[in-house]
Structure 1
C-alpha cells in the first residue's frame, strides 16, 4: 500500500535531517582528530617520546600503506616508513600548521621516496616507484586519501589492452628487461619499448581524467 503524500514527505525530511547530522558528525570527528594530531606533532618535536609513540600508532598504518603501494619490496616500505617518523622526531621536517596532518605526512613520505630513488637508481624495482610518483603529481595537491589515487591506478591499468597490461606487469613487477619481455611477447625490443611508453602515457591520461572528475564532484 502506498504511503500518503504527507507521510512520504515526512520520511524524506527525516532522512535529510539524519544525513546532515551524520555529515556534521563526521566533519566534527575529522576536525577533532586533526587538532589532536597537531598537538601530538608539537609535543614530539619537543622530544616528547610518549607523544611520538601515540602519533606513530595513529598514523603508521596510513603512511606504510601509502609507501607499500608504491614499492615492490615490503621491507623497503617498512624502512622508509620508520624514516618518515624519525624525521618528525628529529625535527628535520616541521609541521607548518596550515595544512591537515595527513597531507603533510604524505609530503614527507614523497620526499623520502624521491631520495630512495636517487640512492637506488640501478635497482630495477624503483622504476615502479618513479611511475607512482609521476602519477601522484598529476592529482590534486589536497588529496589526503592515497587509497583513492592507488585505486585509480589499478583501475586504469585494468582498462589497458591485454598486451599493454602484460608488458607493464612484466616490466614493473616481474622486473624483466625489455629484451626478455620482447622474447616472451614475440615482438621486437623496439616495439616493446614503444608499447610500454604508450601504456605509461595512457595511465597518466587516465589518472588525470579521474582526478579532474573527482575535483568537479
Structure 2
C-alpha cells in the first residue's frame, strides 16, 4: 500500500532523525524514537490515515505485549489491542503532548482493560487482569517489554508465604470478600487486608526487580 505524500514525508523525516548511519534503523536511541513518534502524531492529528498505519505498525507489538501479559486468553489480547488503535482512529482518545507516546498508549490500554473487566465480571479469566492492573497502579516503573511480565508474576507469586498466597487466591480467584477470607483464615478483617496489601507490594517489588535485572542483561 503506497503512502500518501504527507505520510511519506513523515516517514522520511523520522528516518533521518532516528537512523544513525552506522547502526541502522533497528538501534534507535530512545530520544530519536520519541521524535519519530512525534512526527507521526502530527500527521495523525491532520487525519492522515497512512500515518495511522505506520503508527500502528510501530506500536502494535508493544501494546499487544502489555495486554497479553495481563489476559489469560490470547484472543482477548488481540481483540483489545485492535480496540486501542480503533479508538485512536476514531478520535475517541486524543494524544496528550505533555507525555511520551508509549505511556499515553498504556493509559488507553488500561482503560480498555478496565472496561473488559466490567463486561466480563463473571469470567474467571479476568481475575489475573485485575491483579495486574492493581500492580500497575502500585508500580512507578515503566517496563518496556511486557511480554515477560506473565512469567515474572507467576514466579513472584510462588515466592510468597503460604498465608499471603492463600489470601490472594481467595480474593482474586475465588472472589471472596475480605470478611469471608478473614473467617476462613481465622484472622481479623484488618489483618487480612494488611496481608493482601503487603502481598501486592511484594509482588510489585519482585516484578520490578526482575524487570531491572532483565534490562541489565
TM-score range, shorter chain: 0.5 to 0.7
SS at match of 2:94: coil
Q: Which runs of 5+ in 1 are unaligned?
A: 1-26, 179-188
In the TM superposition, what are the counterparts of 1:201-216 in structure 2 within 5 Å?
201-210=197-206
Query: What is residue 77 of structure 1 aligned with on the other side?
Result: 77
| 2:103 aligned with 1:132 | no
CA separation of 1:200 and 1:146: change in aligned 2, threshold 3 A: farther
Paired with 1:204 and 1:167, the residues of 2 have a C-alpha distance of 11
For structure 2, list consecutive stretches of 5 or more residues without a partner in the other structure.
1-26, 177-182, 213-217
**1:156–1:203 contact (8 Å) kept in structure 2:** no
Report the secondary structure of 1:92's partner residue: coil
| Residue correspondences, number | 177
User: Match for residue 144 of structure 2?
Assistant: 145
Counting only pairs closer than 5 Å after superposition, residues 1-217 of structure 1 correspond to structure 2 as 29-140=29-140, 143=142, 145=144, 147=146, 153-161=153-161, 190-191=184-185, 200-210=196-206
SS at structure 2 position matched to 1:122? coil
- Distance in structure 2 (CA, Å) of the matches to 1:51 and 1:97: 17
Which structure has the larger Rg? 1
How large is the Cα RMSD of the aligned pairs? 3.7
Which secondary structure does the structure 1 equivalent of 2:71 belong to?
coil
**CA–CA distance in 2 between the matches of 1:158 and 1:85?**
35
8 Å contact kept, 1:102–1:144: no
What residue number does 1:13 align with?
none
